[in-house]
Structure 1
């Protein structure tokens, strides 16, 4: 089972390139960065989500931060954990991901999610109630751009005529799409437009095991020949729990690092680094 690190790339925390080097030096397989374009400064959002930590509104741009991380490392996988695709233009995002995938030598993991702060989503012109249908079409449209020399897409939310867009990703089908979420439709979304499932930590192990089994059975019945990989995002750095995840077939576990100063983050990574030799393939 691979081990990854996630951290909000806040402007007051360790730099993304320094973080990536520290993660790679300690043997972790991947680094995932979350994103929020902004945090609405309104009573409506405050009433909906409460007082959120400062790092929600202080994150660097996701792809700028990932580019710094990729440029500073050689083998580390760099991932969006998650990209809020319902808030992103698909043509621009397809180019950003393809560029990063080419420049990093195919080291990009594309974790996707629909977001959960309604006013943030709405500020981008997306109806929060339709965010998953918007995300679905945008990911499919991006795949068209990646895979075809002349791409076009005609859906309910995404519409564009024939276009050229290069570079194409390092991998012909594009970076693997890791579908976030643990809701009842998560498996359907993985089978529809994803390559992997990335539930957030918190599901009971028995329930997670059952859902992994059902997802992989459904994938086999749908004609997939590979076993759908599963990444559990935000799990605790607890050896006993990680052993349970490994036992039920989880392929990657991602541990959160605190978004704080470089010394504190490096000390945290040192404390959990022994887990790499225990669990990583």
Structure 2
């Protein structure tokens, strides 16, 4: 990332009616964007009662969004410099051995362009279908991250946790990036800070308005206390252009300036699932912001 101004990415989830991943990635790379990130939901239980934070109801598109790794492979094949990320990958839906292999394969085939944004998920019903209890989700996230790092960084890997266990084994390929792709915590409360310091390489919260400065200050203090370098962390923030913080025409640029001043180096715009035609129109506005900070 640059040291002067922010870099920009786009976070979305592809469907059969949105802009195709490869086409979107190619356009972003040619028009000043640094990265493209895909989120995931493997399914939506019909009896789901859990609500995603900041949403009154679960978007219908979650029922049919593409797999993020398959989508990102299409992007990687169509681009040469664009970074590819997950925002976020729900770790309660992935076994660490399979996840380590999938991410390392994508990193190999993209020549080291992967960023792994992770979280625990908010749907108790969704993770229950994977045999995961909602109350245990963060314990599983921690052990999954630690386990995949063991696999990425050792010829022979083994792990003994409460929820993740495997005997000594060989598992390749290994990632191109030293120590593996950066792992960013995709949560935005005070509990996330300790998790970032312990086992993550950065932070990718959704912009929560006035509380963001305090959270960033808290992360800096926790890094000092825990012996981690604050400056070496990846500081990314997700902005939804439709939120209350960016209602006026010039509010989006102003909010970007505020977040960058706080220490966020990468701005990740939320790009809602919509028809390809409507998405192209929305890209015009986001491209205008990117040009402003070029």
Query: CA–CA distance in 1 between the matches of 2:138 and 2:36?
Result: 25
Per the alignment, residue 178 of structure 2 pairs with: 172
Query: Gaps (5+ residues) in structure 2?
Result: 1-5, 247-251
Give the structure-1-normalised TM-score. 0.93
Which residue, out of 14, 35, 38, partners 1:9? 14
Which residue, out of 215, 220, 230, partners 1:216? 220
Per the alignment, residue 41 of structure 2 pairs with: 36
How far residue 230 of structure 1 moved from its aligned partner, in angstroms, is 1.7
Query: CA–CA distance in 2 between the matches of 1:199 and 1:192?
Result: 17
Q: Tell whether 2:100 aligns with 1:86.
A: no
How far residue 258 of structure 1 moved from its aligned partner, in angstroms, is 2.8
Which residue, out of 47, 50, 75, partners 1:48? 50
Q: Is the 8 A contact 2:184 2:202 kept in 1?
A: yes
Per the alignment, residue 229 of structure 1 pairs with: 234
Query: CA–CA distance in 1 between the matches of 2:57 and 2:212?
Result: 30
Q: State the SS of the aligned residue for 1:32.
A: strand
Query: CA–CA distance in 2 between the matches of 1:234 and 1:35?
Result: 18
Query: CA–CA distance in 1 between the matches of 2:220 and 2:181?
Result: 20
How far residue 272 of structure 1 moved from its aligned partner, in angstroms, is 1.7
Q: State the SS of the aligned residue for 2:234.
A: coil
In the TM superposition, what whole-angstrom CA distance separates every residue of 1:15-57 from its partner, at most 9, and x where no partner exists? 1111111222221111110100000012xx1x43364222101
Q: Runs (4+) of structure 1 moved beyond 6 Å?
A: none
Query: CA–CA distance in 2 between the matches of 1:13 and 1:135?
Result: 30
Q: State the SS of the aligned residue for 1:270.
A: helix
Query: CA–CA distance in 2 between the matches of 1:106 and 1:48?
Result: 36
Q: Is the 8 A contact 1:23 1:269 kept in 2?
A: no
Which residue, out of 96, 108, 119, partners 1:113? 119
Structure 2 counterparts to residues 220-259 of structure 1, below 5 A: 220-225=224-229, 227=231, 228-236=233-241, 238-259=252-273
Q: State the SS of the aligned residue for 2:73.
A: helix
Query: CA–CA distance in 2 between the matches of 1:169 and 1:147?
Result: 9
Residues paired across the two proteins, number: 275
Query: Gaps (5+ residues) in structure 1?
Result: none
Q: Is the 8 A contact 1:146 1:172 kept in 2?
A: no
Query: CA–CA distance in 1 between the matches of 2:278 and 2:191?
Result: 38
How far residue 262 of structure 1 moved from its aligned partner, in angstroms, is 2.7
In the TM superposition, what whole-angstrom CA distance separates every residue of 1:61-112 from its partner, at most 9, and x where no partner exists? 1110111111111111110010000111110011000011111111111000
Q: Once structures 1 and 2 are overlaid, which stretch shifts more, 253-262 or 81-90?
A: 253-262
Q: Is the 8 A contact 2:22 2:78 kept in 1?
A: yes
Per the alignment, residue 139 of structure 1 pairs with: 145
Give the structure-2-normalised TM-score. 0.89
Per the alignment, residue 25 of structure 1 pairs with: 30
Q: Is the 8 A contact 1:95 1:167 kept in 2?
A: yes
Q: Is the 8 A contact 2:197 2:228 kept in 1?
A: no
Query: CA–CA distance in 2 between the matches of 1:111 and 1:153?
Result: 22
How far residue 166 of structure 1 moved from its aligned partner, in angstroms, is 1.1
How far residue 275 of structure 1 moved from its aligned partner, in angstroms, is 1.6
RMSD: 1.6
